Each structure stands twice: as structure tokens, then as C-alpha cells.
Amino acid sequence: MFAIFKREVRSFFTSPIGYLIVGSFLLLNGLFLWVFKGDYNIFDYGFADLGNFFLLTPWIFIFLVPAITMKSFSEERKMGTLELLLIKPISVWKLVLGKFWGAFFLCIIAVVPTVVYVFSISSLGVIEGNYDLGVVFGSYFGLLFLIGAYTAIGIFASSLSDNQIIAFLVGILICFVMFNGFDALSSLFTNGETQQLIKGFGAQSHFESIARGVMDTRDLVYFISLTLVFLYLTLQRLKQLPR
């Protein structure tokens, strides 16, 4: 499994696409938070707070994560190397986990530079350094779980086709539905309990709960379960492929 992990990370950084994806993520975040006028602009917001960053980032990751994972199995199938991996003395489950942790690690690398925003916001306050780091750590913690779910979805989408573009688009679609689809669906109902029930199936309400600094085990169980479900679906998909 570790060999697969290293192979994924190495292939990402030996290609200019990897640097382009990470650079695009940081550029988009920087532009929307500090340059472009709008709801996400921190200066327009008027408060020394990173809440806008954690509202924006899940939407950017809907595109970023599928871009990272789209070649995980699609490229292997297209190049004919997946069959070689499947007949090697490594279980299919370890192969899936190696791909998953490799893509997850790359997403973490993209997030790490954003820590500089914490210091920037802290210095912008009326009282320098008077900033609730607990909420920030909780939000980053929730973001890790969301990234894990997105990565599992992207890995699954990549196993469905040998075309990377199709894998990319399917990954975006599933990530969008799981993050925002249930919230949109709940708006069709007028009963508050029904709305909350439907929202509970989506990732957005669970992420927002963690981002507020509320560490509820139900939110953690949701993201872990969602991640495991799509990893299991990937496993079953690979077992169906001819060897």
C-alpha cells in the first residue's frame, strides 16, 4: 500500500499538472478572499474572521479533488497497467487505500499554505492576536474530513471509466450532489423537521457544524461513513473489471 502511495505522490509532482492544480487552488482562494469584490472578500466583510474562507473552500474543492483523482484508475485502465496492479501480490483493498491516501495527501499539501491566512487575519483585528484559534482548528479539522469524503468520491468516479474527463465530470457531479444537493432538495419542503432530516443526508450541514467549532461525533461518523462507502464501491467496481 505504501508503495502505491509513494507512486501516486511521485507521479503528481513529476507532472506540471500537479503544480497547476495546487497553484490554481491557492490563486482562486487568494483572489476571492483578498482581491475580488463580493461576499467572500474579507475586507468587504469587515470582520477579522476566516469564516468566508471555510465557506468558499468546499466549493473550490468540488473541482480540485476530482482534478487530482481523475487519473487514479482512469489512466491505469487506459494505459493497460491496472491489470498488472491487480495481479500483483497486493490486495485490491490495499490498492484502493494507496490511491486514496496518495490523493488525500496531495489535497493536504494544497491546504497547508493557507495557514498564512490565520496570521494575516490575526494581525488585521482591532486587537492584534485577539482571534479564536479554537474555531479555526475546528474548521480545518472539518475540512480534512470533507476532503477525505471528496477524495473517496473522486477515486470511485475514476474507477468508472478509462476517460479522465468523464471521471472528472462524474466526480464533480457526485461531490456537488453530496455537498449541496440535499440542502437544495430540503428547500422544496415546508416542514422544518423534514428539512432538517433531508439536510442530514448532505455533507454541507455536517461540515458547517464542525466549522462552527461544535465537535459532534455524529458529524465525524457521517464523514467517515461516507468515505468508507465510496471506497467500498470502488473496491467492488475494481473486482468486476476483467483481469
pLDDT in tens, the chain (243 residues): 777 888 888 888 787 877 888 888 889 888 888 787 777 777 666 666 677 788 889 999 999 999 999 988 888 888 877 777 777 777 889 999 999 999 999 999 989 998 888 777 766 654 555 566 667 777 888 899 999 999 999 999 999 988 999 999 999 999 999 999 998 888 888 887 888 888 889 999 888 887 776 777 888 999 999 999 999 999 999 888 766
The reported pLDDT for the residue numbered 216 is 78
Per-residue model confidence (pLDDT) at position 139: 83
pLDDT of res. 160: 93
Question: What pLDDT is attached to residue 243?
Answer: 60
Domain tally for the chain? Answer: 1
pTM of the model: 0.90
- Helices 133-159 & 92-111, crossing angle to 10 degrees? 140
pLDDT at site 165? 93
For 163, the domain range is 1-240
Output the CA–CA distances (angstroms, integers) from residue 202 to 140, 191, 217, 226, in the order listed.
19, 18, 16, 10
Please state, in angstroms and rounded to a whole number, the distance separating the CA atoms of residues 22 and 10. 15
